[in-house]
Chains A and B, each alone.
Chain A
Amino acid sequence: DTAVSQTPKYLVTQMGNDKSIKCEQNLGHDTMYWYKQDSKKFLKIMFSYNNKELIINETVPNRFSPKSPDKAHLNLHINSLELGDSAVYFCASSQVDGKIYEQYFGPGTRLTVT
């Protein structure tokens, strides 16, 4: 029973394309997140989202947009992909209202832009 799942695991695409990465959590959590891990392993928050509020890291280009069809899903859509977008993207979830702050991470999606 995977708690946080992401698809696809690997994504190879060309510059200029638009792509989406899907994330689902079956933990009943109220908040989901997207993180980017670069080639040096640095992890940076991109978005935090629950049904009340979207918080965007100001360094994230507006080519990136989170889309949430329901509480259990938070997809990441990327327009006009650039070489610098190549990274591993991690989805995570937590229960904030209940003040259980630890986040549970998905296995990651390795995006390669050529």
Chain B
Amino acid sequence: GNSVTQMEGPVTLSEEAFLTINCTYTATGYPSLFWYVQYPGEGLQLLLKATKADDKGSNKGFEATYRKETTSFHLEKGSVQVSDSAVYFCAQNNAGNMLTFGGGTRLMVKP
């Protein structure tokens, strides 16, 4: 079946460090891929998306490239801020556009 696997957290970084959160997926067909972010006590917000192979999604300094050959969609940011501290979810859409999420990765950025 379809699944999403992302690195377990927490990931703890100092401000201005480089961030990578790995995400891989298994799917029948060619899903769209997403990164969502959940700040403490809030709902999920779409961070970025990619709808086909080699697409790069980007937003707020975050980037992820849809790699069909490695079935990956790793999230990167060149310089993290304290305000980026949150839980990040990788997801793919399936039949009925229902999202299958990875387990979430908590990012903690220290000043």
- Which residues does A use to contact B, with CB under 8 Å? 31, 33, 35, 40-45, 48, 53, 55, 57, 90, 92, 94, 96, 101-108
The digit string for B29-61, where 1 denotes a CB below 8 A from any CB of A, is 000101010100011111001010000000000
A101 engages B98 (CB within 8 Å): no
B87 engages A103 (CB within 8 Å): no
In the complex the two chains form, what is the Cα distance from A53 to B38 in whole Å? 29
A45 engages B46 (CB within 8 Å): no
Question: A104 contacts which of B46, B51, B93, B98 (Cβ < 8 Å)?
Answer: B46
Q: Report, nearest first, the 7 A-B pairs whose CB atoms are least far apart.
A: A48-B96, A55-B96, A43-B101, A105-B44, A45-B98, A105-B43, A107-B43
Main secondary structure of the interface of A (DSSP, over half): strand
Residues of A within 8 A of B95 (CB): 55
Question: A94 contacts which of B43, B51, B97, B100 (Cβ < 8 Å)?
Answer: B97
In the complex the two chains form, what is the Cα distance from A94 to B98 in whole Å? 10
B96 engages A43 (CB within 8 Å): no
A-B contact count (CB 8 A): 59
A57 engages B98 (CB within 8 Å): yes
Instruction: Contacts A40-B103, A102-B49 known; list 19 others, CB within 8 Å.
Output: A31-B97, A33-B98, A41-B104, A43-B99, A43-B101, A43-B104, A45-B100, A48-B96, A48-B97, A53-B96, A55-B96, A55-B98, A96-B97, A102-B46, A103-B46, A103-B97, A106-B43, A108-B42, A108-B43
Residue of A nearest to B9 (CB): A41
A48 engages B98 (CB within 8 Å): yes
